[in-house]
Structures are given as structure tokens and as C-alpha cells.
Chain A
Amino acid sequence: MNGTVSLKTIMPTKKRMGRYDGGTVNLTNAQANREYIIKDIKTDDLELKGFLFTLGCYEGEKVTLLSVLGDNYIITIKDAKYSIDRNLAEAILVSRSF
């Protein structure tokens, strides 16, 4: 091990990539007050997916995480503010918008 650098320290982990390099992460890993682009809604619940769609929460749209209050994530989509729980925040996959 002496002298060799483990691959891990060079390669950013997947989570890190999401945070800093514009990869896809779920909303719980997003940074506050920064605009993200929704990449996917990961759920088997088609009704929920359809409902989120009517709010403008679907692939390609913008979302901003305002604050994290415990297990609640306050987000804005279009001009409305919503509070969602961790389960839902984990289902919303986003990437940084540039």
C-alpha cells in the first residue's frame, strides 16, 4: 500500500460528482438556493407522477431547493412553493442547471 494512492481518493465518488460536477443526484443531495433541472421522477406510483406533472414537476423543468427543515424539503417549482417529505425528495432526480 505504501506509495500507492487508492483509486478512491482520486476519483470523486458518485455522490460528490452529483454535488459538484453536474451529475444526477436526488433532491436530498441538492444545494439550497440553486436552480436544478429535473432529470427523472423515480416512482412506481403513476398517479403521483401524473399529479407532479400537473404542477410542472417533470423531466426537463426547473426546481429550486429553498431550505431543508428536518425531513421536509421546501422547494419551488414554477412560481409556487411546496413542502415535500424525504420519500418524495429522494424520488426526484435532478442535475445542476448552467
Chain B
Amino acid sequence: MKIALAGNPNSGKTTLFNAITGRIERVGNWPGVTIEKKEGPVKKNLAGGKTNIVVVDLPGTYSMSPFTQEEDITRSFIKYEKPDVIINIVDATNLSRSLFFTTQLLELGIPVIVALNKSDLNRKKGTVINVQALSERLKCPVIETIATSGRNNGLKELISTALKIRGTKQEAPFVGKVANSNDKSEIEAVDRQRFEFVKSVVSEVEIKKHDDNRLSRQDAADRIIAHRWLGIPIFAVVMWGVFSISQAYLGPFLADIFVGWIDAFHAWVEGILGEGVSPVLRSILLDGIIGGVGAVVGFLPLIMVLFFLLALLEDCGYMARVAVVMDRFLKKVGLSGKSIIPIIIGTGCAVPGVMATRTIKNDRQRRTTAMLTPFMPCGAKLPVIALFSGVFFNDSPWVGTLMYFVAVALIIAGALIIVRITGERNAKTYFIMELPEYRFPSLKRAAISMLSRGKAFIIRAGTIILLCNVVVNLMQSFDWSLHVVEEGAENTSILASIASPFAVLLIPLGFGAWQLAAAAITGFIAKENVVGTLAVVYSITNFIDTEEFELVGGATNVAGVMGLTSVAALAYLMFNLFTTPCFAAIGAMRAEMENKKWFWGGIAFQLCIGYTVAFITYQFGTLFTTGAFGTAFLPGLAVVIIMMSVIAYFAGKGEQKAAVKATLRA
């Protein structure tokens, strides 16, 4: 048996879904969090002994005629996959809008239950809804629910009612008969009548007592938080708080403790192995698995703290306001205010970030955002940043901060270039965003979100990153004739011979060593791999010193082993952060762009940006520090000039297109 959850955006479908199934899907207090359908079995204690009850969570929509892409998922599912029962989640605080969609669902013949959610908020506001009367008027059961509450939340009744009405034929209280479905004006006339019907229902069942104080408090908060000028410093302070807590204070403190355990484990395994074990196996176990994976997992606390804070931010209603504040600026560079949400989510992980672009209606804005979101340093890039700022920059907080600023600058510059390439610089766009009510963020929800994402991080470290490290370790230990590589002859290993050709390309960027090239390449599989691979190829067991409570111990040693100047190290860091993202993010980009030209163009663009940024950082940084350009300046300059000319050529073509459009309009 299949139950579909459908309703307006931000009515609490996923919260209800999580409560019914015990799952921990992402929730947030803004419209458009859910962008995919998700399935899960009903929890045993709610199912009443029945098995095989599957609940499907659907993206929110205002009607059966979709506007953005994720809304189309909902319409298609309900229309073509025919669930047995539809639970229509209705935001009880906004009956007059929500019931429009309800009446459309009631016409399908599938039995519908209305879950009157957020009924606790209504009680606070003093609004009373006559549930009995509503149920009679809609000709379907209506059950009050509080999805955010653990007890007395109406869920049991909801599921038992669903079981009861399964297989019945839903009677429609309002039938919107359209003779010719292509006739726009006829459809509109019917929808008008539909709204009239909804109005008559609401006027009969709802008694409102407007608590003006409460509303005006919310509006007053908006006047400050979404203020045209004040909003920007507020946003800056909030994000600075998130990053400094996770990366400069609480995160590193916890990481120190955590790494002590990993160290102890490393020593323990080393002790057990003793001297009798083959050196290759020993190297795989200690350097490859524990060293490589441990180097990555050591940064887990930083990432968990970041995820926790981001979850709080998503829960309180602030995200929608940031979109409003930023719209003015992002519009100027050809993006939408909504682009800021994928970018913020992208600081956790680029994959959900890129997927969140689905809520942007305009194709160009959506694709551009999907292309640029991966520039944001994500959780997986944090270990890379922390490693380099520790080894080469004495743990200076400015390195991490600078990376976020560079990311923002690249996003802006990238957007400016892309809007010119597309030739839509003068296109008129509209922005509309529903503003959800502010609420106090739930620590429990944030903790759950943090744990589930932390778990995903550990699973990645234990699977894909572990595998990569073992492979890197093997490729480094053997040469092509499968002999163990002698000490001092590392350049003959399989890994060295594969990575060396790539390393040549990186010489103008200041890091032409095959080890660094190999680490950058494994970074495309997952960015944490950069740290893991470096740990493996340079046999560094641990980057974090537990004795001195420093993020990276023996920094000068590590720096010496890598043989990089500080400038080259910064260039290498930037190359890894600002080039094409990991394969998972690339896959998400392809899915959201839905266009081959955009997709391949995007990848090429990201590669060019990564290369150019590293080139500029290394060459000009070296010029400033030593008075002369670094190695291979001219060949690198030639490559950069060629890439820039190609981009400029396309931008010129786009500008022509824009000019033609402008004259056509005039």
C-alpha cells in the first residue's frame, strides 16, 4: 500500500514523513527544501500490525499545474503512479490558500485525508478551525496534526484512517469541469470558481482572532533582518559566526581530542603487527588505511560543528530572508536571490547544494547557479583547507576566511561572464519568495541532522576514501612489472608514471610534483582524498598534533617533505578548491542542468577557473615575495591566455545576441 504526502511548500510534509517513518530526511523552514520524492515504510508502532505500508514524501506545490521543476515531480507521481491514499498536508495557518490544491486532489478519485498541520501554531494565534465542519464540506476525513511534536501529534489516527479509507472512491466537493483543456480562459474561469468555493468553505469553518502583536513582531524582525543595507552586515556576521565557530574555535578543539584517539589506535595496531609482518602489508594497513583514512576522519568534528550550525540556520526561517537581501545583488550579476540558498547549502556539501537549484524557475539562473555553487568550500574541502593553513600558514584563520571570500568573488565573476555568454544580460526576471514565520531553531533537529550527515561522512571515509587510499598505496608501492618499489626509486612506481604527465601541466602553477598531481586527481573522486593521498604518498601518519593542541603538528617537517613554498602551497590549495568538483557533484550538475552544452561548458569553465586562479596566485605571489616570476611563467601564461580568449570569444558572441535582441525589442 502506497500513501502519498502532498501539500503546499513549507507545510511540513517532510517533518511529517520523518515522524511517520522514523527517517531523517532533510527539513528546513523555507519553501522548497524537498526536491525529490522519498519513500519509506511506516514505523511499526504507527502501522498497527500492518506491514508493507510505504509513505512517499513529495516536493511541495501550490497546485496541480507545476511552476518549477520539483513541483512537476509531485504532479506526475500523483497522476501516473496512482497512490492508494493521499495525505494532503494543509498548513492550518493558511487555509484559504492551501485548500485550492486540496480541491484539486479531491477530484482525482483517490481517497484523500487532510492532515491539518501546524495546528499548535493556530492555537497560539487564537484561530479556531471547526474540523468536523471542514471534513463535511470537503467530504474527506480531516485530522489535526503537529508533525514537530513527539506526542499527541495525531499521527496514529492519520495512519489508521488511511488504512480505513483505502480502496474507497473519493467524492469531489467541487468539480472543475473543463470542456476544452487547451482553453486557457476556461481553465482560469474554473479555477476562479474553485477559489470561490474555497473561500466559502473557509468562511464557514474558520474563526480568526488576529494577534497583531505577534504578527508585527515578525514584520519588525523582517524590517531589520531583510533591510536593504542592514541585511548585508547581518548576513556577514551570521556566516562569519558559523565558520569561525566550526573552524577556528569549537571544531579544532574537538578535533584535537578526537585525533588523540586515532593516534592511539594507530600505535595499538602498530604494536600488534610487530616486526614480523611484510612491509607492504604493514604500509597498506598503517599508511594507507589508518593513516590515509585517519587523516580525513580527524577533521570530522569540524564538519559536524559546521553541519550543526547550518541546520540551526535552516531551521529558524532565516534562509528565505537571505535570499531576499541578496536578490538585488545577485540579479545584477545575472543570478536570482534564490541562488544564495544552494550556495549556503553548498558550504555543507555541493551535491544537495546543486540539487537545491531546482527551485529556481529561470533556466539560465538555475544552470548558472548549478555551475557556480561547487566553488563554495564544502565539508569535504575543509580538511584540505585546514591541512594547508596548518602546515604552511601557522594555522592562520585568514586562510580559511580568504577561501570563502575567493569563492564568493569567483561566483560573482563567473556569473558575470556566463550571463554575457548566454546573451541574456537584459532579460527581465521576476523574484517571488514566500517568507515563512520565524521560529526558535530546534536543537534536537539540528543534532539529528548533524549526526546523519556525520554518519554519511564516516561512511564515505570508510568506503570510497579507504578504497582510494589502498589503491594509491598499492600503485605507489609497485612498479609496472609489479615489483616492490625500492626506497629512493619512488619515481618508478605506477602512481608516479601515471601522475607525471599531469604534473607537467601543473609546473606553471608552482606544484609540478607527481605526488601533488596524484593527490589532485584523486580529489575528483572525493575532495577529502587530497588529504588522504598526501598522507599516503608522503607517509605522514598524522596531521594533527595532540600534544601541543595544534591542528597540524610538525608543520615545518610536513612543509619540508612536500617541498613547496608558501605561495605555491596556497596556489595548490586554491587549485583543489576552485577547479571542477568531485564526481558526485558533477553528476548533480548534469542532472540539474539538463543540457549537454551547459554541462560540458560548465566543466570546462570550472577547470579554466581553477587553473587560472592557481596560476595568478603562484606567479604573482612569487613576484611579490621574491621579485621575479616563478617557474614556467610564459608557457603558463600562454595556456591562460588561450583559455581566456575562448571565454572572451563566447562572451562576445553572446553580447552580439543580446544586442540583436535589444534592437528587436526596440
Hey, which bits of chain A sit against chain B, CB under 8 A?
A: 43, 45-48, 50-56, 58, 61, 66-67, 69-72, 74, 77-85, 87-88, 91
Contacts and interface: CB of A to CB of B under 8 A. Distances in A.
Interface stretch (B79-87, B429-437, B647-655): B429-437
Nearest to A80: B94
Given A54-B101, A70-B229, 12 more contacts: A47-B67, A48-B430, A51-B67, A56-B100, A58-B192, A69-B222, A69-B228, A72-B228, A81-B435, A82-B432, A83-B323, A85-B430
Contacts of A67: 219, 222-223
A70 B332 CA distance: 14
Contacts of A71: 228, 327-328
B430 A83 contact: no
Contact of A69 (B96, B191, B226): B226
A80 B67 contact: no
B97 A82 contact: no
A82 B433 contact: yes
B431 A84 contact: yes
B483 interface: no
8 contacts: A52-B432, A54-B62, A72-B226, A78-B96, A81-B434, A82-B432, A87-B428, A88-B432
Contact of A79 (B97, B192, B231, B428): B97
Given A46-B184, A51-B62, A71-B228, A56 B97 contact: yes
A80 B433 CA distance: 11
For the complex of A and B, list the 3 residue pairs with the smallest distance between their C-beta atoms, beginning with the closest. A70-B228, A54-B63, A85-B431
Contacts of A66: 219, 222
Interface of B: 62-63, 65, 67, 93-97, 100-101, 184, 188, 191-192, 195, 218-219, 222-223, 226-229, 231, 320, 323-324, 327-328, 331, 337, 361, 428-435
B327 A69 contact: no
Contact of A55 (B62, B93, B428): B62
Contacts of A53: 188, 191
A85 B327 contact: yes
Given A67-B223, A72-B327, A83 B433 contact: yes
B219 A88 contact: no
Chain B at the A interface: SS class: helix
Chain A at the B interface: SS class: mixed
A83 B324 contact: yes
B96 A79 contact: yes
Contacts of A80: 94, 97, 434
Given A50-B65, A69-B324, A84 B432 contact: yes
Contact of B331 (A48, A52, A56, A85): A85
Nearest to B61: A54
Contacts of B331: 85
Nearest to A45: B430
A40 B327 CA distance: 25
A84 B430 CA distance: 8
B606 to A, nearest CB: 29
B63 A69 contact: no
A74 B216 CA distance: 13
Given A56-B96, A69-B222, A74-B222, A87 B324 contact: no
Contacts of B219: 66-67, 74
A95 B337 CA distance: 29
A66 B97 CA distance: 19
Contacts of B361: 47
B94 A79 contact: yes
Given A69-B222, A85-B327, A87-B430, A54 B435 contact: no
B333 to A, nearest CB: 15
B97 A55 contact: yes
B67 A50 contact: yes
Given A67-B222, A71-B327, A83 B63 contact: no
Contacts of A88: 430-432
A82 B65 CA distance: 20
A10 B173 CA distance: 55
Given A56-B97, A88-B430, A74 B435 contact: yes
Contacts of B94: 78-80
A51 B191 CA distance: 12
B661 to A, nearest CB: 15
A28 to B, nearest CB: 14
Among B63, B231, B429, B430, chain A packs the most CB atoms within 10 A around the CB of B430
Contacts of A55: 62, 97
A52 B444 CA distance: 36
